[in-house]
Amino acid sequence: MKPNKQNFSVSLFNAFEGLYYFFKNERNGQIQLLILLLTMSLGFYFCITRSEWLSVIVCFALVLSLEMINTAIEKLSDMVEPNLNPHIKIIKDVTAGAVFWASFICVIVGAVIFIPKIKQLLT
């Protein structure tokens, strides 16, 4: 088998095509992009610190990456087994659970960052 010697620019283009597809066609990707934009707006509004920005950025990188992997696994699973299959269901449920868990933790991180700022604004 001959190794794939695709040049870097082609690989980069393919990666951007994947991002474009994800945000254009996947509802969860669109929702998460909206949440990202709203959170970034809050971050600018409240002038969050550098470490708070890093936390927000890492959270979004984690959740969006897991959601993209979840989407890829779901698409592949549907190609491999288009009929209902309890084993495929477990695979899909576990990957969805990974996205949910990361999202849950990131909501906690967001609450730790933004709730004190919102309370301060309201007082």
Domain residue spans of the chain: 10-122
Answer whether residue 6 shows pLDDT above 90.
no
| Predicted local confidence at residue 4, as pLDDT | 64
| Mean pLDDT score, 24-53 | 97
Answer whether residue 52 shows pLDDT above 80.
yes
| Mean pLDDT score, 18-45 | 96
pLDDT by residue (tens digit) across 89-116? Answer: 999 999 999 999 999 999 999 999 999 9
| Predicted local confidence at residue 120, as pLDDT | 94
Is this structure's pTM higher than 0.85?
yes
> Of 20, 51, 43, 17, which is closest to residue 33 (Cα–Cα)?
20
Answer whether residue 70 shows pLDDT above 60.
yes
Q: Please tell me what DSSP assigns to residue 85.
A: -
Give the CA distances from residue 91 to residues 2, 15, 62, 73, 85, in Å, rounded to whole numbers and listed in that order. Answer: 31, 24, 19, 8, 10
CATH code at 10-122: 1.10.287.3610
